[in-house]
Structure 1
Amino acid sequence: MRGDGQKLWTAAFLLSIIANFFVVSILYLLMTTMALYAVERFQASDSVAGLAAGSFIVGALAGRIFAGKFLDFVGRRRLFLGALIILVIAALLYIPVNNLLLLLTIRTIHGVAFGAASTTLSASVMALIPAARRSEGTGYFAVSNTLAIAIGPFAAVLLVDAATYDVLFLVAAGCALAALIVGLFVRLPERTPTADERMHKWRMRWSDVFEPGALGIASVVFVAAIAYSGVMAFLNSYAQQNHMVVAASTFFLIYAGVALLSRFFIGRIQDRYGDNVVVYPMLLAFAIGLGLIAIASNGVVLLIAGAFLGIGFGGLLPCAQAIAITTAPLRRVGVTTSTYFIALDAGTGFGPLVLGALISAIGFEGMYAALAVLVLASMVLYHFVHGDKKYRQRVAA
């Protein structure tokens, strides 16, 4: 505990991190294998295979909007546990699926449950973190995301190669069940809606779905997510073209390891010295990493790029989430969290659609160079939406 007397490491906080790891692992276990599964199991075309992977994100966006708006009306614990139960059932339903339409339906439902569970937990855990340690605490919580990013795709490839897709689906169901068991012991802090909120419970204006105060930093996250989607979606293809497959298989482990290490000091620096001290260098590191990928002539350069992306994009995510929470009223934490993750999911999910066309026009190297320039431009965007403002104290509730 620090001298400010505010305790961060409580049982509820630790259990929330564990539960979040299992929830996020479901996304990365299935996202990296679902397109190939649709092709092998149902002879799907490339576009339909992409839809089989992306429909989960579409569902997640809907789940995040619902959770952001209604988590305090439904009850945070009730919504979280209900979503986890659906996650278990949906994962098991992949096994008997016998046609593409049913697969797409289950993927969408699975995504809705994931979005609701993730948003509810991420919003609720902010009440467990002392305000003076919000960036640090958010960074520690995001360690579970980093571990899931590293372990999920790696485990998925091993499971499909050594066993079957049915085993993969059982593991995904097991992750959901583990999250449910842990969630039973987590006492999420509840909040009672105000009389005005209850009066407008079913109103769905723009401001009821998105937090205006968080849209600025969310726009930066959206741009960054588009850039990172180019790595997630196309790095393996790029590596195969340039005979760097071994390095590409290690790339995400390097990325995750560096991102994990960064969580132990970046949040503290942000809490002490402000947002700009960490965000500008991280965006610069992100751009450098993308530039290195564009010019990578061997595996060593590619691995160095992974380290830069770990400190850049990997470090940016929890810092940006802390900024979003700080710039909005406490009573709007659910909508604020939803706004942040919608931007992240939208950039990650829809980025490859645009970047695929870009690759056809200018090649992989040109695409990664263009993304490096895009991230550099996002530094200017950040300056205007947040960098020239001072948000170190929460705005009034």
Structure 2
Amino acid sequence: MTTRTGADRLWTRDFVLAAVVNFFISAVFYMLMTTMALYAVDRFGVGDTGAGLAAGMFIIGAVGSRLFAGKLVDVLGHRRVLLVALVVFLLAALGYLPAGSFPALLGVRFVHGLTFGVGSTASHAIGQSLIPPSRRGEGTGFFGVSAVLATAVGPFTAVLLIDGPGYGALFTAASVAAAAAMAIALVLRVPEALPDPNRREALWTFRREDLLDPAVLPIATFMGVTAAAYSGILTFLNPYALSLGLAAAASTFFLVYAVVVLVGRPLMGRVQDAHGDNVVVYPALASFGAAFALLTVGSSRAIIGAGVLVGLGWGTVMSSCQAVAVKAVPPSRVGVAVSTYFFMVDVGTGLGPVLLGWLVGATGYRTMYAVSAGLVALAAVLYHLVHGRVARRVRPAHA
């Protein structure tokens, strides 16, 4: 029978508050990411390229900020950086309605993305600092549930508001969510491990390892490849389903995905803590690849079934490998580890639609998803090379 000591306690007041902060930050992202292209068309009359730029400018800002966010968090302190980022995050949310031109909208999106990258890095670093090392996989899984909830609540709220009161209500809701994140962050108690004054003086002297941690980069690169495959679902599942007359199945896909991740992530985290990384990651990759194969079938049942497999696959890999990344560095470099990890995820998510979109135009959706299944197989080989072959099975401790 496994025993828990006080040091192994996961469900603390501040862990829950940090997860709620992360939920609100993520909810703002999903509310606006799923509606910004349409808003740019309706408000400014831009074409497809401009609409894509309006949506993508946020990701460009986030990717850029990941390069320095980790060092800021580690050197200046998790909570301090989070609060400053959330102040600007709120101001950016308030800037959408006053933005009276398309260039102004792009500027707001870029600043919003910058602060999202810094704020989400800080919130994840705080969450990791509050997780007992012996429960790293489980805790990361539970913390990740906050972002999963946002993937369901954010788009649903956005559609509800756009179809009802309109974009003004949408931007107001985004601002309220940003304000809620900031208010909760004010009462967070974070165990800061600030470096000595000599290291603080080196804040503006960036070394390569301060931007992307070498110990984390291998597993993060694997996640970038996997995220590129997942971007084919985020970007193209809805138009694919619409082309088949299966719009309802696409909506059900994301609902099923969210439910499976909510149930599966914490469970898989416990298995990872007890038995090691490979026991979780290899089956998850197999499930993820099978999901793409199922999507090529093109039926309602196949799409919904793929939602289950993606939840078991991508949902598990995302949190499990974040735990791997954090375990690869000392506590003083958790911020850089988190920023390195999500930098590569963002790069994969940003580049994937470009490459897969070209493939859709040349061959069609089904071929694109078949190629995505092959991309997951390639990612599995990469995982084995960078981590799987050296990962050791964990023997659980018994009382």
* TM-score bucket of the superposed structures, by smaller chain: over 0.9
Deviations, residues 67-93 of structure 1 (Å, cap 9, x unaligned): 201123333222111111111111111
Q: 1:211 aligns with which of 210, 213, 220?
A: 213
Residue 264 of structure 1, CA deviation: 2.5
- Does 1:324 find its partner at 2:302? no
Q: Which residue of 1 aligns with 2:131?
A: 129
Q: Which ranges of structure 1 fall in alignment gaps of 5 or more residues?
A: none
Whether the aligned pair in 1 keeps the contact of 2:78 and 2:125 (CA below 8 Å) is no
One-letter code aligned to 2:3: G
Q: How does 1:43-54 map to 2 (within 5 A)?
A: 43-54=45-56
**3-state SS of 1:219 partner:** helix
- Does 1:380 find its partner at 2:381? yes
Q: Which residue of 2 aligns with 1:22?
A: 24
C-alpha distance in 2 between matches for 1:32 and 1:212: 33
Deviations, residues 119-145 of structure 1 (Å, cap 9, x unaligned): 011012211110000000000000001
Deviations, residues 338-386 of structure 1 (Å, cap 9, x unaligned): 0011111111122111111111111100000000111011111100000
Length-normalised TM-score, structure 1:
0.96
Residue 156 of structure 1, CA deviation: 1.1
Whether the aligned pair in 2 keeps the contact of 1:327 and 1:391 (CA below 8 Å) is no
Q: CA 1:64–1:178 in structure 2 vs 1: closer, same or farther (change >3 Å)?
A: same
Q: How does 1:243-282 map to 2 (within 5 A)?
A: 243-282=245-284
C-alpha distance in 2 between matches for 1:199 and 1:187: 25
C-alpha distance in 2 between matches for 1:18 and 1:228: 25
Whether the aligned pair in 2 keeps the contact of 1:125 and 1:188 (CA below 8 Å) is no
Q: Which residue of 1 aligns with 2:397?
A: none
Whether the aligned pair in 2 keeps the contact of 1:285 and 1:311 (CA below 8 Å) is yes
Whether the aligned pair in 2 keeps the contact of 1:67 and 1:334 (CA below 8 Å) is yes
Whether the aligned pair in 2 keeps the contact of 1:20 and 1:118 (CA below 8 Å) is yes
Whether the aligned pair in 2 keeps the contact of 1:86 and 1:113 (CA below 8 Å) is yes
One-letter code aligned to 2:390: K
C-alpha distance in 1 between matches for 2:261 and 2:78: 29
C-alpha distance in 1 between matches for 2:198 and 2:354: 41
Q: How does 1:1-397 map to 2 (within 5 A)?
A: 3-5=3-5, 6-194=8-196, 197-296=199-298, 298-390=299-391
Cα RMSD (Å): 1.5
One-letter code aligned to 1:263: R
C-alpha distance in 1 between matches for 2:262 and 2:222: 21
Residue 64 of structure 1, CA deviation: 2.2
Length-normalised TM-score, structure 2:
0.95
Deviations, residues 125-180 of structure 1 (Å, cap 9, x unaligned): 21111000000000000000110011111221111111211111110101101111
One-letter code aligned to 1:364: Y
C-alpha distance in 1 between matches for 2:249 and 2:273: 35
Q: CA 1:238–1:122 in structure 2 vs 1: closer, same or farther (change >3 Å)?
A: same
Aligned residues: 392
Residue 330 of structure 1, CA deviation: 2.0
C-alpha distance in 1 between matches for 2:77 and 2:265: 30
One-letter code aligned to 1:286: F
C-alpha distance in 2 between matches for 1:118 and 1:218: 16
Q: Which ranges of structure 2 fall in alignment gaps of 5 or more residues?
A: 395-399
Whether the aligned pair in 1 keeps the contact of 2:62 and 2:115 (CA below 8 Å) is yes
**3-state SS of 1:167 partner:** helix
